[in-house]
Structure 1
Amino acid sequence: MIPRPCVAQPAAIRPGPVPRALGWLLLVAGLLVGTAAHAAPRLVTVDWGIAQNLTAMGAAPIGVGQIDGYRSWVAGPRLPSATREIGLRSQPNMELLSQLAPDRILITELYAGQADRLAEVAPVSIVDVYFSHGDGDSDVWDSTIAAVKKLGRIAERPAAAHALIARTQSAIQKQTARLPADTKPLLIVQFVDESHVRVYGDGSLVAATAERMGLDNAWQETTTRWGVATVALDRLARISDARIVVMGPVPVGVTDKIADNRIWQTLPAVQHTPPIYIPAVWSFGGLPSASRFARLIADALVNAQTKAPAPDAGWPNAAPEA
C-alpha cells in the first residue's frame, strides 16, 4: 500500500490585526462617506436677496441670475468665483440649470410664475419678504429675519443664519453710535432718470434699517408693496425740512444733467442742506443690505458734518468707495 503524502491542513482563518496605516485609511474613508451623505445642498436662486443672504451664511448658491447686475446693485457680499451665471432672473437658462444639477431652486413670489418650469429641474422653494403674508402689511424687518431663518434651514445652516442675524444687529448698533446728534429727517432717493426718482419709505428695508438707527424718514406718503414710490422731481418740493440722500447707482448721464436741472436746484431740501450720496444698497435684499446701508449712511452723515459742502450745485463731486 502506497502511503498518501501527508498534507498539512490549513488552520481556520481568523482576521488578524489591521495594520495601522490601513486602519487610518479605513477611518478617513468612513468619514468621507459620512460627509458625502450629509453634504450641504446645492442651491440655485434667481433672486439677489436670497443670494446675498446665503453667501453671508457661508452657503453661497452654485448658480445666480444676472451676476453682473448683482455686482452693480447689490455689491456685497461678493459671490464666489465658482458661482455660475444662469441667465436672466426672469428667464433662466434651463439647459444650464440642468447641467448644474441643483438639489433645490429658490425663488420669491415675484418669480412664482416660473415655479412649474423650474420644478422640472429640481424642487422649488419660495422664500419671500414682501409677499410673506399676502397682505402687504407685514413688517419688512420681521419678514427679512424670518426669511433668513428659513434659508438657514434649507441650507442646513441654522446656526449660521442666527449668527448672521446677530452680526447684523451688532453692526447696526455700532453705526448708530456714530451718528451726529442733530440729523434731519432723511429723504432717500434713487434716480430713475433726470426727471424721476424712487423714494424709499415705509415698507422698504433701508427705511426699516434707518428706523432702527433712530433716523426719521421724511417721506410719509404712500409706497408700493416694496416700500418705494416713483415720483417726478417736483413732488419733492413739498418737503423742506429734510436731508436728501442720493443712493446709487446713478444712471449714465444723469449726474451731468442734474447738476444743471433747475427743478432739482430749487428743491427746498437741496437749498437748505447739501445732499449726500451713498453707493448702491439692494433694498429688496437681505440682512447684508441692512448692514451695508447702516455703514454707508453713518459714513456719509459723519463726513457731511466734518467736511465743507461740495462747491457744485447740490450734487456730490465724487461718490465714496463702496
Structure 2
Amino acid sequence: MLGRRAFLGGFGLALAGPARARAQGSGVTGPAARRVACLDLLLTETLLTLGVTPAAVGNIPLYQRLVAEPVLPDGVPDLGPLQEPNLELLQQLRPDLILAPSWAEVGSNDIERIAPVAWLPTFSTQKPALEHARSLLAQVAAMTGRDAEAQAWSARADAALAEARQALAPFADRPVYVVRFMEDGRHAAIFGGNGMIGDVLARLGLTNAWTGRTNVWGTTSIGIEQLAGNPEARLIHFNRGAETDRALRQLAGSPLWQALPAVRQGRVIETPVVYPNGGLSSAARFAGQLARAVPAHEAARG
C-alpha cells in the first residue's frame, strides 16, 4: 500500500536517536500518554472523543472535511498527508505516543524511531463496526488515562441510538438506501454490510435496502439504476457541499434518476455528511440526524 511505502523509505537518515520501545495496541504500558500524535482519521476522532487534544494530526483539512466532529481545536500541528507524514516535524514535536493504522505497519518502521507506536486496527472483518469502535475507544482510553471518559461516551452512544430507534420506529415499515452521489450523476457510493452506516441502521431497527456485497468498510460503488432494486425504499443521501451540488445537477437531467421509484414518489431525504468509517461519535451523530430528518420529511409529505 502507498502508506506502507511512505512510512518506510527515505526517512531513516533524517531521524536522530535510538529506536524506542514499540507500542502494540492495548499492550501499551507505562504512564498515560499526554502528547499523542495521530496518523488516521478514525484514530483522531477517537482521541478527540475522549477529550484529548492531539499533539499533531495527519491531514487536518481532510479531517475537517470528512469527519468534522468532534471539532479539532485550533493550533494543532498538521503532519501533512496521512500516507506521507512529515516525520521531521513529528520528531521535533516529541510525542509520547503515536497512533497509526495497523494496515500501515511493516517490520521495523521509521516512525518507531521517534516514539512508541500503537498500531491499531481501523476496521474489523470479525465484528460489527460499532463493537469495533467501542473496543478501539477503550484501547485508546487505556493508553491516555481516559477510562472514565470512554465509559461515559459508550453509554452516551447507546442512549443516542436508543432514542433514535424510538423516534424512527413509526418509519421502520420501509427499507432505506444510504448513499453518497458521485459527481458524474451516474454512480453512487452505497453503504451496507458491517460498516458503521450499515451497523447503525440495524441498531435503529431499519432494514438496509442494499443487500449486495461491500468492502471491509461497508461500502461499494453502484450505478444509479441499481437504486431501483427495491422500489419501496426510502433513499437517504449525504450532502457533501459543492460535490453534492454538482452531482444533483447531473442527476436532474438523468432519465434513470427521474425513473427511480423513490424519486417519483418523493422519498429522497438529504442529511448532513458524516464520516462513514467513523467511531462512536460519528455513529451517534448519524443516528440523531436520521431521527430528525426522516420524521420531518414524512411530515412535510403529509
- Work out whether the TM-score is over 0.5: yes
2:206 is the counterpart of 1:215: yes
Q: Equivalents in 2 of 1:300, 1:210: separation in Å?
A: 14
Secondary structure at 1:52's aligned position in 2?
helix
**Normalized per residue, which structure has more helix?**
2
Secondary structure at 1:307's aligned position in 2?
helix
Post-superposition CA distance 1:258-294 (Å, at most 9, x none): 2222211112232234200111111211100011101
Matched positions, count: 269
TM-score, normalising length from structure 1?
0.78
Percent identical among aligned pairs is 29
Q: Which is bigger in relative contact order (C-alpha 8 A, separation at least 6)?
A: 2
2:181 aligned residue:
191
2:151 is the counterpart of 1:158: no
- Structure 2: where are the runs of 5+ without partners? 1-29
Post-superposition CA distance 1:14-34 (Å, at most 9, x none): xxxxxxxxxxxxxxxxxxxxx
Q: Equivalents in 1 of 2:219, 2:32: separation in Å?
A: 40
More off after superposition, 104-113 vs 294-303 = 104-113
More off after superposition, 74-83 vs 245-254 = 245-254
Contact 1:75 1:280 in 2 (8 A): no
Pairing of 1:77-226 with structure 2 (within 5 A)? 77-113=70-106, 116-131=109-124, 136-179=125-168, 181-183=170-172, 184-193=174-183, 194-226=185-217
2:276 is the counterpart of 1:290: no
Bigger CA radius of gyration: 1
Report the CA distance between 1:182 and its aligned residue: 3.0
Please provide the CA RMSD for this pair. 2.0
TM-score, normalising length from structure 2?
0.83
Report the CA distance between 1:111 and its aligned residue: 2.8
Instruction: Evaluate the alpha carbon distance shift between residue 38 and residue 144 of structure 1 in structure 2; reply closer, same or farther with a 3 A threshold.
Output: closer
Contact 2:46 2:279 in 1 (8 A): yes
Report the CA distance between 1:39 and its aligned residue: 6.8
Pairing of 1:1-12 with structure 2 (within 5 A)? none
Report the CA distance between 1:130 and its aligned residue: 1.5
Contact 1:51 1:60 in 2 (8 A): no
Contact 2:49 2:281 in 1 (8 A): yes
Q: Equivalents in 1 of 2:94, 2:75: separation in Å?
A: 15
2:225 is the counterpart of 1:234: yes
1:16 aligned residue:
none
Q: Equivalents in 1 of 2:191, 2:32: separation in Å?
A: 40
Instruction: Evaluate the alpha carbon distance shift between residue 115 and residue 291 of structure 1 in structure 2; reply closer, same or farther with a 3 A threshold.
Output: farther
- Structure 1: where are the runs of 5+ without partners? 1-36, 310-322
List structure 1 runs of 4+ shifted beyond 6 angstroms: none
Query: Which one-letter code corresponds to 1:284 in the other structure?
Result: N
